[in-house]
Amino acid sequence: MNIDRIVNSLPIANLDETSTGFRPTVSLEIEFIAYRNGQILKSRDLDLIQSLFGDYARENDIKTDASAAYDYQTKGRMWEFNGFPSPECPCYIQYTRSLLKTFKANCRANNIKIKVNTDNTGLHCHLKLLSIKEGISNKEFFETSRDHFHAHSGGYRDRDRVKMLWDQSTLVEPMVIAEFMKRYSFDQSTIYTFMRTCRNGEGSYSWAVPTCPTIQSLDVTTVSDIVDLHPYTDGNDKYQALSLKKYSTFQTIEARQFHSTLEINAITCWALFLQNLLTTTIDRFQQSDAPITRTIDLPDNILDLPIPDGERAIRSDSNMIPLYNLIYNNEMNVNDIISYMNIENSDPANKVRVYVCNLRDRLKLIYGDEIAGQILPTETFINNGARYRDGVRNSSYRINKTIEVQEANSQTVLVDNELTRSSFVNLPVDQLNFWQEQKEKARLESLKTIIISRPTYR
C-alpha cells in the first residue's frame, strides 16, 4: 500500500496545522545488525553506522544497543536508531520515509547489508501519555523536537525546548492506562497476526511477554496508581508487550511487541494503531462534577484538633478550652457560659463573644471560613425591650460534634465499557486495509513454517 494513501487518511488531530485536542506523541526505536564483506560490524564502527543516516544523524540518536544480544568483542553489536518524539503528522511521516530512504541508499553505496531484527521485538514505540499544548501545532512540535531533542551541541539541556511544549496537566490517569492495556489484551490474538514469523517458526513477538490475561477481568475504576498495574506486567519488567518501566521518568508506555522493520508503512501504521487505541480509550471516560458529601467529626477534646501550619498548639490555660467543653454538642446561652466560666468583667457578655471569636478563628485556620461557621454557629434572639447591639447578651453557642459538607468533585468516570468494540475502532479504511494485508501475509507465512507457539505470561 502506498504511504501517501495512509497520510491522506489521517484524522484531523494528526494534520500538520492542527493545534487543539488531545494529541499524543510517539518516539521510535529500531534495532538492526550491519554486515560488510560478510563480517558483522562492531562498536568501533559507530561513526560509519552514523554516517549511513547522512544529515539525519544529527537529529536522531544512533548508538549501540545497551542490551545487545551479540557479544561485544567477537560477534559484533546490535545497533539502535532512536528517533525524537513527534505527533504522527504528514511532515513527520514524510521525514521518516526520507530518512529510511537515505539510510538504505547509503548502505547500498557502501556495500553494507542490514538485517533488521525480525527474530526479536526490535521496533519499540514510546507513546507519550501527555498531549501537546493547546495552540502549538503538530508541525511546530515536530520541527522543535527535530532540531532540539537530540541536539548534540546543546545536550540534554536543549530538550527543555521540547518538554515545555507538552501540557503536564493532560497526563493520562492510571485507570485510563489500565483500560488501554485491557483492550490491547482482549485483541492480543489479532495483534499477533501482525507480527512476522521467525526462521525457527516462532513469532517475533516471543521476546515480549504479553500482559497478564487476568487484566481482562480488572475493574479499571479501582486503579488509582500506576503501581496497581505492575502485577499485570510481570512486576513492571522491561521486556513486556506493554512496558510501564519508563512511566515514572518519561510519562510513556512502551509497546515492545512489534518486530523490527525498515518499512515506512508498517512503522507508521503501528504507531497510528497505538495512538488510536489510546485516544479511543480516553474517549471512554468523562469528567464528572457531581458533588460529594464529606462528614467531619469534631474531637471531644479541643487539644486533639489539628494544629494549623505555622501556628502554635493551644496553651493549657487558654479560655478556649473550658468554652469548648461547655458548648461541645450542647447549646448554651451567654448567661450560663458567664456563670459556668465564672467570668468577672465589666462586660462579661462581650468577653464571651471574644472567646467565641478566638475559637472560631482557630477552626477557620483548620477547616476554612464556611465550615467553621457550621461547626460553631451563633443563635441570636431578641428579648422584649432589647436595644441595638444587645444581641451579644442574647446569644447562644454550640459546637456541632458532626457536620456534613458538600464539596465540588471533579473525577474521571468510565462511561463506555463495551469491550466487544475492537481496538481497531475509528481506524481509517486505508489503515485497516494495511493490517488486513499484514494478516494475510502472516497466514501465508504460517503455511510454510511450523505451528507458532504463542508466548505465555511468565
DSSP string for residues in 189-212: HHHHTTSPBPTTSSBGGGGSBPPP
Q: Are 351 and 333 contacting, i.e. CB atoms less than 8 angstroms apart?
A: no
For the chain, report the end-to-end CA distance as a whole number of angstroms.
37
Q: Which of 168, 139, 177 is nearest to 274 (CA)?
A: 177
Residue-wise DSSP of 231-269:
GGTTTT-SSBSEE-TTHHHH-EEEEEEEPP---HHHHHH
For the stretch 5-46, pLDDT in tens is 889 889 899 999 999 999 999 999 998 889 999 888 888 899
pTM here is 0.70
Query: Which one is the CATH code of 3-289+414-448: 3.30.590, 1.10.3470, 2.60.120, 2.40.50?
Result: 3.30.590
Higher pLDDT, 357 or 195: 357
- Selection from 157, 204, 184, 186 nearest residue 253 by Cα: 184
Q: How far is CA 97 from CA 13, 49, 58, 353, in A?
A: 21, 18, 17, 79
How many Cβ atoms sit within 10 Å of the Cβ of residue 52? 21
Cα separation, 97 vs 107, whole angstroms: 15
- Residue 386 has what pLDDT? 47
353-358 contacts: CB < 8 A, separation 24 or more? 353/392, 353/395, 355/319, 355/320, 355/323, 356/323, 356/397, 358/319, 358/320
- pLDDT tens digits for range 162-201: 999 999 999 999 999 999 999 898 888 777 777 665 444 4
Residue in the structure block whose three cell numbers are 462511561: 415
Tally of CB atoms within 10 A around 238:
15
**Which tens digit of pLDDT belongs to each residue from 382-418?**
555 445 456 788 889 999 999 988 876 666 666 665 6
- The domain spans of the chain are 3-289+414-448, 293-407
Q: How far apart are CA 144 and CA 159, in angstroms?
A: 9
Cell 473550658 -> residue? 322
For residues 224 and 175, the answer to whether their CB atoms sit within 8 Å is yes
Q: How far apart are CA 46 and CA 201, in angstroms?
A: 32
47-86 pLDDT, tens digit per residue, is 999 999 999 999 999 988 765 544 444 455 788 999 999 9
pLDDT of residue 390: 63
Question: What nine digits make up the cell of 209?
Answer: 511477554
- Measure the CA–CA gap between 75 and 43, rounded to whole angstroms: 10
Residues 297-321 have pLDDT tens digits of 999 999 999 888 888 899 999 999 9
Instruction: Compute the distance between CA of residue 234 and CA of residue 212 in angstroms, rounded to an integer.
Output: 8
In terms of phi and psi (left: phi > 0; alpha: psi -120 to 50; beta: otherwise), the region of 195 is: beta
Q: Does pLDDT of 282 surpass 60?
A: yes
Nearest Cα to Cα of residue 46 among 24, 68, 23:
68
List, for residues 192-233, the tens digit of each pLDDT value: 777 665 444 444 445 577 888 899 888 898 999 999 999 888
Give the 3-state secondary structure of residue 126.
strand
Are 146 and 61 in contact by the 8 Å Cβ rule? The answer is no
